[in-house]
């Protein structure tokens, strides 16, 4: 028999039992005689029957699937998160449904994923909107935020202390005698979960008795490499001697652009990036960067989700813990 056409009916007929009995065996129901269970399992193995996860979910109210929402699946920064999520999911026998949510599509993607009756959700989106929050609460789906913060503090999250990380990275530049440090970001980072980074920049300014200069606060069209040309020229025009740039791809683009225009990195301008993806190592010079433990953030988020899916009572505990992981500043050749 073609294994692609094997159904629960075929198993029941071969084993000479009801489809309800096959369903109980498949779903681990103990209310089946051992001899009957053994007979059904032998037929399942013989026919290579693979139960449909969604069909099983209708009976058990569990699908053993987890939705993972990623803002940009091509971004190496998010792929590191995803690897950690996937490894822990596999350890606990969960399947992953991964969805790409470009800016502006997060709400639709979340709604589509929830309609598949996933047991839980790991959300790496840039923005937590009221509509997304409503859908998650309406469906009572456990959710963990990875690499971002819930501005209302209601959803468990795993992240680093972005404010302290940026403050430390920028302060290091000032401590080297650099007078003017620009802050470069992109619209997708200028939402609640990322405001901690700009706060860190302002904190570093204050601790070194420097005023906030709007001419040094630059915004790229987006965080992709090609957006670096315009903001790179603005950086040159600002006369800043260094830049703290949010997003590795954007930082690499700015570094290349200023060098194409005749400036030397770090002799004329120092560059610091924020995520320590592989891009920071393959660009020349290699970029000094904040280094969040990307794999660990994904892995811890998935582990917390397994707890929430198994026991709703742990939710308050993990929210209060805030799950802030340690970061590093990796010094490379783009700074002095």
Please give the residue that has the higher pLDDT: either 273 or 136: 273
The answer to which of 22-36, 54-68, 95-109 has the lowest mean pLDDT is: 54-68
Report pLDDT for 195: 58
* Residues facing 120 on adjacent strands: 66
Helix axes 19-26, 8-15, angle to 10 degrees: 110
Q: Report the alpha-carbon distance of residue 311 to residue 136 in Å, rounded.
A: 17
Report pLDDT for 130: 84
pLDDT one-digit tens code per residue, 116-129: 889 999 999 777 78
Identify the structural domains of the chain with CATH numbers, from first to last: 8-51 (1.10.260.40), 65-159+294-326 (3.40.50.2300), 162-291 (3.40.50.2300)
- What average pLDDT is seen over the chain? 87
pLDDT one-digit tens code per residue, 30-86: 788 999 999 999 998 888 887 665 555 555 567 789 999 998 887 878 888 998 999
- Which residues, including other chains, have CB under 8 Å from residue 64's CB and lie 6 or more apart? 53, 56, 57, 93, 94, 95, 119
The pLDDT-based confidence of 206 (bands split at 50, 70, 90) is very high
Structure tokens at 313: 């009572």
């Amino acid at each position: 028999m073609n294994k692609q056409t094997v159904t629960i009916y075929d198993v029941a007929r071969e084993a000479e039992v009801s489809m309800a009995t096959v369903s109980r065996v498949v779903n681990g129901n103990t209310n089946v005689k051992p001899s009957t269970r053994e007979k059904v399992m032998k037929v399942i193995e013989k026919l290579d029957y693979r139960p449909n996860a969604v069909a099983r979910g209708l009976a058990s109210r569990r699908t053993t699937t987890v939705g993972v929402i990623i803002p940009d699946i091509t971004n190496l920064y998010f792929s590191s998160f995803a690897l950690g999520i996937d490894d822990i999911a596999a350890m606990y026998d969960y399947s992953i449904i991964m969805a790409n949510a470009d800016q502006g599509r997060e709400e639709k993607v979340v709604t589509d994923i929830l309609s598949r009756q996933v047991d839980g959700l790991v959300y790496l989106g840039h923005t937590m909107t009221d509509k997304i929050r409503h859908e998650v609460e309406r469906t009572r789906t456990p959710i963990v935020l990875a690499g971002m913060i819930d501005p209302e503090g209601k959803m468990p999250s795993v992240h680093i202390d972005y404010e302290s990380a940026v403050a430390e990275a920028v302060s290091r530049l000032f401590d080297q005698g650099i007078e003017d440090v620009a802050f470069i970001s992109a619209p997708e980072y200028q939402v609640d979960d990322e405001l901690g980074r700009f706060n860190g920049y302002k904190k570093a300014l204050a601790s070194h008795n420097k005023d906030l200069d709007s001419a040094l606060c630059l915004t790229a069209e987006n965080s992709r490499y090609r957006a670096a040309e315009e903001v790179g020229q603005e950086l040159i025009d600002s006369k800043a001697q260094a830049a703290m740039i949010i997003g590795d791809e954007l930082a690499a683009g700015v570094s290349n652009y200023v060098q194409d225009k005749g400036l030397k990195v770090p002799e004329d301008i120092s560059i610091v990036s924020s995520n320590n993806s592989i891009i920071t190592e393959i660009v020349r010079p290699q970029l000094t960067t904040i280094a969040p433990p990307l794999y660990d953030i994904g892995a811890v988020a998935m582990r917390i989700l397994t707890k929430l899916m198994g026991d709703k009572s742990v939710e308050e505990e993990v929210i209060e813990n805030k799950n802030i992981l340690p970061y590093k500043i990796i010094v490379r050749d783009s700074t002095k």
